[in-house]
Amino acid sequence: MANTESAGANVRFPPPLVALLSVLLGVALNYAYSLPTIPLRASVRIALGIVIIIAGLAPAIAARVHFKRTGQSVIPWKPTPELIFQGPYRYTRNPMYVGLTLMQIGIGVALNNLWISLLAAVTLAIIHVIAVRPEEAYLSEKFGDPYRQYLTRVRRYL
């Protein structure tokens, strides 16, 4: 691994872009092969989708606030100056990715597009490989035992 002081995790593709591409793929798949609709009135389905989106925004925004306070960048390939154990990081090691996944599910529900919601699992799997694993390796190398102890206390996702 490169010098952990000047380089961040070995992540080279922005995770939010993975989610955006997944949503677009869901739209395309829905045109090609439509899945059954969600059996709720449109107003209820849209409201439920919005609630899920908000549930996803909450941990993502809270994590971003903690990043801002500690001078960290949300760009995963930039160096991490310190570990964060407060806020949503008490419950999940990846609140931004959990939030992104929930937002994608909520968008699918609100748009009545099950493809988008179902692809959220694929999105998270891709993000796991291209971002979470490299981030964990980087943080473990840079912060050692404090980070490894954190790994044993807090779940990766939920």
130-157 tens-digit pLDDT: 999 999 999 999 999 999 999 999 999 9
User: Does residue 18 belong to any structural domain of this protein?
Assistant: no
Question: Tell me, what's the pLDDT at 7?
Answer: 84
Residue 13, pLDDT > 60, answer yes
User: Does residue 19 belong to any structural domain of this protein?
Assistant: no
Q: What is the mean pLDDT of residues 99-116?
A: 98
Domain count along the chain: 1
Question: Tell me, what's the pLDDT at 5?
Answer: 62
Residue 100, pLDDT > 80, answer yes
Cβ neighbors of 72 (< 8 A, separation 6 or more) are 78, 80, 81, 82, 84
Q: What is the pTM assigned to this prediction?
A: 0.93
29-81 tens-digit pLDDT: 999 999 999 999 999 999 999 999 999 999 999 999 999 999 999 999 999 99
CA dihedral (134, 78, 67, 83) positive or negative? positive
Structural domain containing residue 49: 42-153
> pLDDT-derived band of residue 1, with 50, 70 and 90 as boundaries?
very low
> pLDDT-derived band of residue 3, with 50, 70 and 90 as boundaries?
low
User: Does residue 30 belong to any structural domain of this protein?
Assistant: no
User: Does residue 76 belong to any structural domain of this protein?
Assistant: yes
User: Does residue 119 belong to any structural domain of this protein?
Assistant: yes
User: Does residue 87 belong to any structural domain of this protein?
Assistant: yes
The Cα 112–Cα 132 span in angstroms is 29
User: Does residue 78 belong to any structural domain of this protein?
Assistant: yes
User: Does residue 68 belong to any structural domain of this protein?
Assistant: yes
Distances (CA, A) of 84 to 66, 80, 90, 138: 7, 10, 9, 15
